Amino acid sequence: MRAYYATDTRVYQLAAGALIAVILLRQKDSASTPAQLPFQSAITPLVFIAFIALAIGDGWFFSSLSASTRGLLATVAAVGLIWSLEPHLPSTFQRVLSSKTPTYLGRISYGT
């Protein structure tokens, strides 16, 4: 139970979220608009699939990995997904995730 709920065992996830937030805020606050990397919109579906595969409870896709390794990889995939969905020119994947149904599910998912 402690490994799942204790803050010190999850601090790397909090730090990764804070780091990506700071990076994205600095990009927004900078005078020059950062250019979108050519592979940024192409990598989004791949990172999304990797995140889903790593987040599945039993780790059926990555069954040989330990839980801590899978958690670290899921954190890296989540940061990559957040970063790749931040382009200044909206991608197709970004439009799909911003549509009505995924937005609704996102709003109710925490409470559910």
pLDDT in tens, 32-90: 555 556 666 677 888 888 888 877 766 556 667 777 787 788 888 888 888 877 765 56
Length of the chain: 112
pLDDT in tens, 3-43: 777 888 888 888 998 998 888 888 776 655 555 566 666 77
pTM above 0.85, yes or no: no
How many structural domains compose the chain?
A: 1
> Which position has the token pair 């709003």?
107
Kindly report the number of other CB atoms within 10 A of residue 69's CB atom. Answer: 13
Q: Residue 40 sits in which domain range?
A: 2-109
Instruction: Classify 6 as helix, strand or coil.
Output: coil
